[in-house]
Amino acid sequence: MNLKTESINKNFSSFAKLLHWGFVILFLYGLLKQIDSINQLEDDNLLMFEVIFALAFLLLLIIRFVYMKTTQQSSIPDHTPKSQKLAAKIVHYGMYICLALIPFSGLIIGWLFWLDLKDGFLINLVIGIHEFAVSITYWLIGFHIVAATYHRLKKDGVWSSMVPFWKE
């Protein structure tokens, strides 16, 4: 089987691509609408919006994870070194974990704020976890983009299996 045939056989479904790029847009929206100060949660409407957004994000993330694990295969060619396959798994699972931890910790922050625990060790710990998950997510997304670009330059089909533009 040649590389071109192998990559065609491992192309992601249109729904998988929609979930992938939809999450890019959803994550960017989350970054753009983020609050500047925890005290903004005093506004009950904003707090409710943040809770609904976090729950929707988590639900969609779970749907994406289940769909991808049960219906899709990796587009990494079989001959790819094991170290690269392991790195890809670490980055992908790391992104799922961090992308879940961000809204989950945000929900805990909102709940603590609603309970009037607006300062102190507990809320500061959860805020620290939230900020750490965001920072790690940035790094993982960076690694993901670098790896995707590497595969685009390598022309092994990985890029074209998920990216709807600048086809190989």
Residue 110's domain comprises 3-73+85-162
Is position 168 within any domain? no
Residues 6+ away with beta carbon under 8 Å from 133:
98, 101, 102, 105
Can you give the pLDDT at residue 6? 42
pLDDT band of residue 8 (cuts 50, 70, 90) is very low
More confident residue, 51 or 9: 51
Mean pLDDT over 28-54 rounds to: 91
Mean pLDDT over 30-48 rounds to: 90
Q: Per the structure block, which two tokens stand in for 69?
A: 């694990």
How confident is the prediction for the chain on average, in pLDDT?
90
Mean pLDDT over 72-80 rounds to: 90
Is position 13 within any domain? yes
Task: Write the secondary structure of the chain as one string of H (helix), E (strand) and C (coil).
Answer: CCHHHHHHHCCCCHHHHHHHHHHHHHHHHHHHCCCCCHHHHHCHHHHHHHHHHHHHHHHHHHHHHHHHHHHCCCCCCCCCCHHHHHHHHHHHHHHHHHHHHHHHHHHHHHHHHHCCCCCCHHHHHHHHHHHHHHHHHHHHHHHHHHHHHHHHHHCCCHHHHHCCCCCC
Is position 59 within any domain? yes
Is position 138 within any domain? yes
Is position 78 within any domain? no
Q: What is the pLDDT of residues 108-133, one digit of tens each?
A: 999 999 999 999 999 999 999 999 99
- How many domains does the chain contain in total? 1
Taking the model in full, what pTM does it have? 0.86
pLDDT band of residue 37 (cuts 50, 70, 90) is confident
Region of poorest pLDDT, from 58-67, 81-90, 118-127, 157-166: 157-166
